[in-house]
Chain A
Amino acid sequence: MNREDFRPSNTKDPETIEPELRQALANFKSSVDAWSDAAMSRPREAKVQERRNWGLISKWALGCVVFAGTVTGAVYQNYRQAEAAKAEAAARAAEHERELAAQRVKEQTAEDLMAKVDSDISREVPSALEPLALMTEDENSGH
């Protein structure tokens, strides 16, 4: 379409509208008037519609999620701490057991060593009266 067609000076003056269009516009106005009057005078029903306050619902939901998360987190943390403490106690007990065993072995070794030393010494060193006893035996055999 030519741009010139849109210039107001080139279009017909609104006040000089052809009869058919004028009639159509009058009918249009009458129609809108009738509709408007009917809509304004219609009986209004009080609609009891279910109002959902989405803001409040979402706040509650968020609050519940935060609460559940906090509780779950606390419980999980507590559980983890208990598990860790248990494992630590078990490790400590095992370590203690190991230390005791080592100590026991060490003590046993020392006792064995002392016993061996004692036996070796008793075997190597003669009794103080042994030579005298031997001489007494020789004299008796000479008779």
Chain B
Amino acid sequence: MAVNSGSIGASTRVMAACTALQPMIKVSAEEIAAQEFESVVVSHRPQIFRFLLASTRDVDLAETLTQDCFLKAHNNWSSFRGESSALTWLMRIAINLQKDHWRNRRLQFWRHTRTNSVDLDEASEWLPSGERSAEQRMLAKEQVARVWQAVENLSERQRTVFLLRFVEELELKQIAESTGMGEGTVKAHLSRALARVRKEFGERQ
């Protein structure tokens, strides 16, 4: 069988060039991944922080858990296959971190029992600075306080589902993906949470 020595030389050169380029390709892939992750952090950090703040009512804790969430996400970014959206993936990490935090606090209550959670009145003070009359602001503040009171009395799951739906405005499917529950279960928790909120409003009126 006749072998063309010229074609062998060319293929060898191509292989050598590929070998030399491999680290560069790898580096650029890493760079792309880093850029993607950076854009994910920029776009989703406020949402993750807001959800954790509403869940814990503790600014410092929410910041810490948000940092932990993105650190964990960064470490596992290569394993994110995009089956769900980045937001639901991050929400899932945040929910698990929050659960771990409370579980650890319950187990290690003797270590650090102090909590920085603000009380419900203080949490209700925050209102958007829109052009409202004093009466409207008062009414809005009262409503917010009632919702906070109802949220306080919800179970952990109900609270999570409620906040994801009415603060983060996620769809039921996204909530199901974030919490690892079925859509039916999410619906049930949401209905119960709403029933509690309605009851809170009914009792005060």
Contact = CB atoms under 8 A, between A and B. Distances in A.
Contacts of A12: 191, 194
A11 B195 contact: yes
A24 interface: yes
B128 A21 contact: no
Contacts of A30: 127-128, 140
Interface in A1-31: 5-8, 11-12, 14, 17, 20-21, 23-25, 27-31
A106 to B, nearest CB: 79
Interface stretch (B13-21, B23-31, B46-54, B94-102): B46-54
Contacts, number: 90
Instruction: Specify which of A20, A25, A28, A38 lies most central, judged by the most chain B CB atoms within 10 Å of its CB.
Output: A28
Given A14-B191, A33-B167, 17 more contacts: A7-B188, A8-B191, A21-B197, A25-B147, A27-B144, A31-B123, A31-B128, A31-B144, A32-B53, A32-B126, A33-B50, A35-B53, A36-B54, A37-B46, A39-B49, A39-B62, A39-B63
B195 A6 contact: yes
Nearest to A20: B201
B180 interface: no
Judged by DSSP, the binding face of B is helix
Contacts of A57: none
Nearest to B144: A31
A40 interface: yes
A74 interface: no
Contacts of A114: none
A24 B190 contact: no
A100 to B, nearest CB: 72
B124 interface: yes
B44 interface: no
B164 to A, nearest CB: 12
Contacts of B110: none
A34 B201 contact: no
A27 to B, nearest CB: 4
Contacts of A32: 50, 53-54, 126, 167
Interface in B123-164: 123-124, 126-129, 140, 143-144, 146-148
